[in-house]
Structure 1
Amino acid sequence: MSVEIALRHARVRYGPLEALHGVDLAVPAARLTVLLGRNGAGRTTVLRALAGTVPLTAGRVEWRGADATRLPAHARALRGLMFVPDQRAVFASLTVAENLALVLPPGADPGRAAEVHPPLRPLLGRRAGTLSGGEQRMLALSRALLSPAGLLLLDEPAQGMSPATAARTYALLGEAARRGRTVVVAEQSLQPELRAVTTVVYGLRRGAVEFSGEASEWPHPR
């Protein structure tokens, strides 16, 4: 199994506090990997370190075997990485259609969002900032899946969604991995719908990896 991106002995500090304590983590290519842990466990910081939005204080980032530690976030995005944070993941002043147009080829129909999440179709003319939390997550996910990015990093992508919409979201992410994209999701728990499409699980606690293995080996049922 080839590795798409990895952290090697990674440490991250926020001021006097160290958020990651020498994390080693390898994300397999064309698979769905889940980072699990409670708030404060380091899940979001791992995603930010991979995306380049926070610097490492020690260790390195390897992307497709090359050292990408000093590669800035915008350069990683240009090379095919898309990071969807848990907050402020849409451009609030733009309409839904305008948000989607940012990742679509010129002249493409933004109505294609209905292919991902049908409830967005009647909202295409609405400003993204007026949407509910769940609708904004649907928009952020739709933009990621409609983009050409080959590496998707998503922080709690189903946050604020109904159970049915969350299940659809996890299924869509699993399908993206089956079609050759590398997907990394940070969640607090491994829901049954997510377990069904997950290849690798990393359990984090207090900034360190305490578990790594297949989803079937994850010791916590929820």
Structure 2
Amino acid sequence: MTLLALRDARVRYGPLEALHGVTVAAPGPGLTVLLGRNGSGRTTVLHALAGVVPLSGGAVVWDGADVTGLPAYERARRGLCLVPERRAVFGSLTVRENLVLAARDPAPALDAYPQLAPLLQRRAGTLSGGEQRMLALSRVLLARPRVVLVDEPAQGMSPAVAARTYDLLAALDACVVVAEQRLPPVLRDRPGFVCELRHGRVVFAGEAGEAEDRHG
């Protein structure tokens, strides 16, 4: 089992502190959802776990080892994959070229998202927002990472494709952490852990069903 966690994490952007002693534990295989409005700190939590932003206090722990000082590229080499909200694909490359960077055979990605098949020769930067999210997540499926961190995975997708996306994420043999503004309807009846942030602090941590009851 993989466990990725923040312990009493603090992150500063200049004079402003974005995380105020946040503790989050994400087990895997399994799905953890970070809930929060814009400015709540959910994206910062993802970036802190990935090593994109440094901590000003606290620690990042992976499988029981303190990896706080490990740079982002080393975490990636160990099997961590971050899919940011923006610029998650290589816009100047074609869809096929983006996929081939992750694996020689793009067939599993096209099985997951058949909508990409007719777009293989298109440059990724010309795709719609939802199509770019499908492409970014397809690359994750091909890479088979140990840890997946995704900021708003279903952004720009239709409800059916969003549901498919969460099916794919839940089926991964990985520790999966996603950031969302609201609990997606498709997750309400699924097993999973939810952590809600507000103004850089954890205000709730529990099962998805408890989070649904909390918000009515």
The alignment's TM-score, normalised by the length of structure 2, stands at 0.96
The structural deviation recorded for 1:3 is 5.6
Q: Distance in 2 between matches of 1:200 and 1:210?
A: 14
Residue number in structure 2 paired with 1:58: 57
Amino acid in structure 1 at the alignment position of 2:33 = V
| 1:1-222 paired onto structure 2 within 5 Å | 4-104=3-103, 108-176=104-172, 180-218=173-211, 219-221=214-216
Report if aligned partners of 2:2, 2:146 keep a CA contact under 8 Å in 1: no
Q: CA deviation digits over 1:102-154, x for unaligned, max 9?
A: 111xxx33243211111001111111001011100010011111112111000
Of all paired residues, the percent bearing the same amino acid is 64
Distance 1:148 1:3, change over 3 A: closer
Report if aligned partners of 1:174, 1:197 keep a CA contact under 8 Å in 2: no
| Structure 1 unaligned regions, length at least 5 | none
Report if aligned partners of 1:203, 1:212 keep a CA contact under 8 Å in 2: yes
Q: Distance in 2 between matches of 1:201 and 1:169?
A: 18
Report if aligned partners of 1:20, 1:208 keep a CA contact under 8 Å in 2: yes
Greater CA deviation, 49-58 or 3-12? 3-12
Q: Distance in 2 between matches of 1:79 and 1:196?
A: 32
The structural deviation recorded for 1:72 is 0.3
Give the length in aligned residue pairs: 214
Q: Distance in 1 between matches of 2:121 and 2:109?
A: 13
The alignment's TM-score, normalised by the length of structure 1, stands at 0.93
Amino acid in structure 1 at the alignment position of 2:200 = G
Q: Distance in 2 between matches of 1:83 and 1:70?
A: 18
Report if aligned partners of 1:34, 1:198 keep a CA contact under 8 Å in 2: no
The structural deviation recorded for 1:36 is 0.2
RMSD: 1.2
Report if aligned partners of 1:111, 1:121 keep a CA contact under 8 Å in 2: no
Distance 1:14 1:67, change over 3 A: same
Give SS of 2:4's match: strand
Give SS of 2:102's match: coil
